Each structure stands twice: as structure tokens, then as C-alpha cells.
Amino acid sequence: MPPIWTALIVLVIAAAGFVLARARARGAARREARRLHSLLHYYGWTAAIYAAGPALLLLALWLVAQPVVTRSLTWPVLQAEAAEGAVPSLMMADVQRLAAGLDTAASSGRLSPEAARALPPEELRAVMADQGVALGSDVTPATRDAALRWQRVSGLGHLLRDIAVIGLALAGAAWGISRARPDIRARNAVERAMRGGLIAAALIAILSTVGIVLALIFNTVEFFRLYPAAEFFFGTTWSPSFGGGSELGILPLLWGTLYISIIALIVAVPIGLFAAIYLAEYAHRNVRSWAKPMLEMLAGIPTIVYGLFALLTVGPLLVEAFGRGGWLGLGWMQGGTAVMTAGLVMGIMLIPFVSSLSDDIINAVPQSLRDGSLGLGATRSETIRQVVLPAALPGIVGAVLLAASRAIGETMIVVLGAGAAARLSMNPFDAMTTVTAKIVSQLTGDADFSSPEALVAFALGMTLFVITLALNVVALWIVRRYREQYE
């Protein structure tokens, strides 16, 4: 029985528990609600929660645990062969696929487990191919035995799972119904359960952080076991080759990331800041009401659009200006994908980040400061430069840091606009690549996850995560501290 059916049965039991418990509470109260501690439906909900909660939890745990247990029970059959140098993970994958194939064959009635046992292992691959199950290699006797064992163990496991889960649901429902008495505080029980649910939902935020950190750490450690950490952090060459003998130094990637981010900030910070100053200090309310949302539209446009804009519009335009035989006759640029292309487009994307945050912060500067300065005879621009901006500076720095962390983590613009060559160069019209772009190129395709060339992506991801996290923590700290100053 597939788990979804088991879950549905549990829900049906819970619904039945709800109806029965409510009826029982009503009977116990002799149709007089006053006698009950809680409203009627709370008694129903108690039974439903007792029935469904633990049973569904058990089901979830079982689904996670069963493959692990089955694997460890099946492994002894394969041990002899694994000693001869076969790759365990591939062998297990084959065993699982064969077991699944045997299952479908048995359920369609074409091949019973007994018949499969009698069949010579060499023929199994062809039989499976008829079923639409492709196996990686020929079936050895050990693989066949392991698959049959897998099938038996997992079949038993499924049966036990269904019995245990449904039994638990029935027991929970019975317990809940038995507690449908007037003196039981059903509402409190239900609210405790709801509160538990709320806490669990809040913990998911932590869980996903833990997930990110664990996934990164495990694979990064694995990578450093295969590749020396010192060469990764201080190597100046990036030339992965899946045949082996790759050089995986992060410095060219970090340089590309920083260079592009700096260009992006050079574009975004002045434009964003001046736009924010104008909108906050000078603009008429009408102008502000349409100009601010329009600028913020730039933030709502997906990054793939910017990537395409860089690749197909900005890149060719820059080549026409700076390329060989261009308007300026400089010949600095070889192709459309370059640091400048990506940096420029990323700068456009970051304008609204800088402008809306700065706008908020400039607006938070108390009016009394401005009035004081204007009252002393300063012009508005003098007030802004000498009073408002110094007061808002920490917040603006925070906004710029947030924009920088955005720039460093941005992927699509650099994948499409910056090129793929990892190099250490000062020319902004050269193609360079970034940490994010290389994560994408190392992990797309059918790389196997045990080679350093694929695992390096996790180390790159870890580096990226740490850098952006640090920038964010600092930026949020500055912004928050600044806000408190005037509140």
C-alpha cells in the first residue's frame, strides 16, 4: 500500500474519532452544553489530534528510516563482491532498481519472486529491459540475491509500517474518545497541540539553515579530503578537468566576483543615492508617488531578464563602442561577455535596493535637524550635505553593504553576461567569471558527486555563504543600531 493511502486511512480514522468523541461528549453532557468544560467541537478535535498526530509522525519517521535499515540488512549479501573493488553506491543503486523492477513484474503477474529466483542471473537484465527497467550493468548472482532480499525486507517493512501506523491511529482515536468527558479540559489540550504546531513551523526556518550549513559542510569536508585546502584558497589558477589533474584555485573567481560587484556598486550607489535624496528632500508628492514605484519595478524584474539584457543588448552595444573597429576605435573588448557588461547590468538591478533603503533612512532623520539647519540660513543642499547625510550615513553604509551582498550572490547576470574564463586581469572589458557562475557550471550536467571537480562547488558555495552572511550581519547590525538612535 503506498504511503499516501496509509495517510488517507489515518485521516479517515481521525475524522471518525472526531465525530464519535463529539457525540460522546454531547451524550455525557446530556444535551446541556453548560455542563462541559469546553465547547463541543474541542472534544472532537482532541480525538482527531490524538489519532492523526502520532500516527502521521510515525509514518514520516518510518519513511525516512526504512531505506537506511533495508540497506544495512541487504549489504551483507553484497559484501564479498564489494571487496573485489566494485563501487558500493553504484551496486546498491542497481540492486534497488532491480528490486523495483521485480516488484512491478510481480504485480503485473509476469514474474513471481520464485520464478525470478529460478531464473539465471544473466537473463534478468533482458527480462527487466522488457519491463522498461534499465540496469547499469549485468546482473551477478550476488546482485540478484541482494535484490530479492531487498524486496523481501522492504515488503515486510511496508506491512509492518501499515500495521503500526494504523494501529497507532486507532489507539489514539480510542484514547481521545474515552477522554470525551465533561471534566476534561479539551480546549486546553487542543490549544496546546496547536501551539506545538506553531512552534514546529517556526523551527522550520532554523531547520533550513541547519540543512544549508550541514549540506555545505559535509561536502566541503569531503572536498578538502580530496583536494588540499591551501591550494584551494590561495591557488591562482582555475582549470577543472574531469579527467583529473585539475587546478582549483578560488582566487581568480573571487577576483571576478569582486570586480563585477565593484563596477555594479559604482553604477548603483551614486544613482541610487542621488535619486533617494531627490525623492526624499526635493520631489513633489505627485512626482514621488509615481517615480518611487517605477524605480522599484527594477527590483521586481527577475534576474533572468537582466541576464538576457546583458547578453543580447548591453554586451553587443559595448562591443560596438569599445570593441575592435568600434565607434571609439579602442579595440579593448573581444566579446560581448565581459566584466563591464555584467557589472553595468547588475548596477541597474541594484539601483532600487540602494534607493529605497536610503530613502527610508533619509526620511527617518528627524525634521528638527533640518529645520535647525535651514533656520541658521543654510541652503537645502547644504543642509542635506552637512546635516542629513552625516546623520544618515551609518544607515546608508548598511544599505550599500546589503547591495554588495546581493551583487556577490547574484547568479543569472554573471552566468549569461560575464563569460566563463577564470582569469586574474585588470581590464574590465575582459571576460571573467565568478564564484556563482562556477557553482552552476560545476554542478550542472551529469557529474558524479564523488569527484573533486563537482565537490568544489560546495566549497565555493560555502565561501559564498560565509561572505554574504557576514556582510548581512554587519549591515543589519548597522541599520538596526542606527534606527534605534532616533526612535
Partner 1 sequence: MTDISNDTPARGGSLLVTDARTKRRNRAETRFKAYGIAALAVGMAFLVALLWAILSNGLTAFSQTYVQLDVPLLEEKLDKDGDRDPDKIAKVSTFGYKPLIEAALTDLVAREGIETELDGKALTKILSDSAAAKIRDRVLADPSLIGQTVSFDLLASSRVDGYLKGRVSRESLARDKNLDAAHLDLVDTLREAGAVEKRFNLAFITGADASDSRPEQAGIGVAMLGSFFMMLVVLILSLPIGVAASIYLEEFAPQNRLTDLIEVNISNLAAVPSIVFGILGLAVFIQFMHLPQSAPLVGGLVLTLMTLPTIIISTRAALKSVPPSIRDAALGVGASRMQAVTHHVLPLAMPGILTGTILGLAQALGETAPLLLIGMVGYIATNYPDGVAEGFLAPNSAMPAQIYEWAKRADPAFYERAWGGIIVLLAFLLAMNLIAVLLRRRFERRW
Residue ranges in 372-431 that form contacts with partner 1 under rule CB under 8 A: 379-382, 384-385, 402, 405-406, 408-412, 415-416
- Residue that has been written with the C-alpha cell 474518545 in this structure: 177
What are 247's three cell numbers?
Answer: 587546478
Total residues contacting partner 1 by CB under 8 A comes to: 89
Rounded to the nearest whole angstrom, what is the least distance from the CB of residue 454 to partner 1 in the complex? Answer: 10
**Alpha-carbon span 97 to 482, nearest angstrom:** 59
Query: What single DSSP character describes residue 366?
Result: -
Among 364, 443, 451, 474, binds partner 1 (CB under 8 A): 443
Among 176, 252, 428, 461, binds partner 1 (CB under 8 A): 461
Does the protein bind partner 1 through residue 5 (CB under 8 A)? no
Does the protein bind partner 1 through residue 260 (CB under 8 A)? no
Rounded to the nearest whole angstrom, what is the least distance from the CB of residue 316 to partner 1 in the complex? Answer: 11
Rounded to the nearest whole angstrom, what is the least distance from the CB of residue 27 to partner 1 in the complex? Answer: 25
Rounded to the nearest whole angstrom, what is the least distance from the CB of residue 56 to partner 1 in the complex? Answer: 15
- Which stretches within 365-486 are classed as H helix? 367-375, 380-383, 389-409, 412-417, 435-443, 452-486
Does the protein bind partner 1 through residue 225 (CB under 8 A)? no
- Residue that has been written with the C-alpha cell 512552534 in this structure: 199
Rounded to the nearest whole angstrom, what is the least distance from the CB of residue 174 to partner 1 in the complex? Answer: 26
**Alpha-carbon span 144 to 142, nearest angstrom:** 5
Residues 182-221 contacting partner 1, CB under 8 A: 187, 191, 194-195, 197-206, 208-209, 211-212, 215-216, 218-219
The β-bridge relationship of strands 247-248 and 238-239 is antiparallel
Sign of the dihedral through C-alpha 397, 402, 408, 411 = negative
Rounded to the nearest whole angstrom, what is the least distance from the CB of residue 306 to partner 1 in the complex? Answer: 8
Residues 107-166 contacting partner 1, CB under 8 A: none
Rounded to the nearest whole angstrom, what is the least distance from the CB of residue 480 to partner 1 in the complex? Answer: 10
Residues 270-329 contacting partner 1, CB under 8 A: 270-275, 277-279, 281-282, 291, 294-295, 297-298, 300-309, 311-313
Does the protein bind partner 1 through residue 68 (CB under 8 A)? no
Q: Do the Cβ atoms of 252 and 423 come closer than 8 Å?
A: yes
**What are the angstrom distances between the C-alpha of 229 and each of 104, 114, 256, 436, 470?**
47, 53, 20, 19, 21
What are 458's three cell numbers?
Answer: 560546495
Residues 14-43 contacting partner 1, CB under 8 A: none
Among 12, 19, 60, 476, binds partner 1 (CB under 8 A): 476
Rounded to the nearest whole angstrom, what is the least distance from the CB of residue 151 to partner 1 in the complex? Answer: 18
Does the protein bind partner 1 through residue 481 (CB under 8 A)? no
**Alpha-carbon span 21 to 30, nearest angstrom:** 14
Q: From the CB of residue 310, how many other CB atoms can be counted at a distance below 10 Å?
A: 30
Question: What letters, b where the CB count within 10 A reaches 16 and e where it falls short, cover 324-346?
Answer: eebeeeeebbebbbbbbbbbbbb
Number of residues that this document lists for the chain: 487
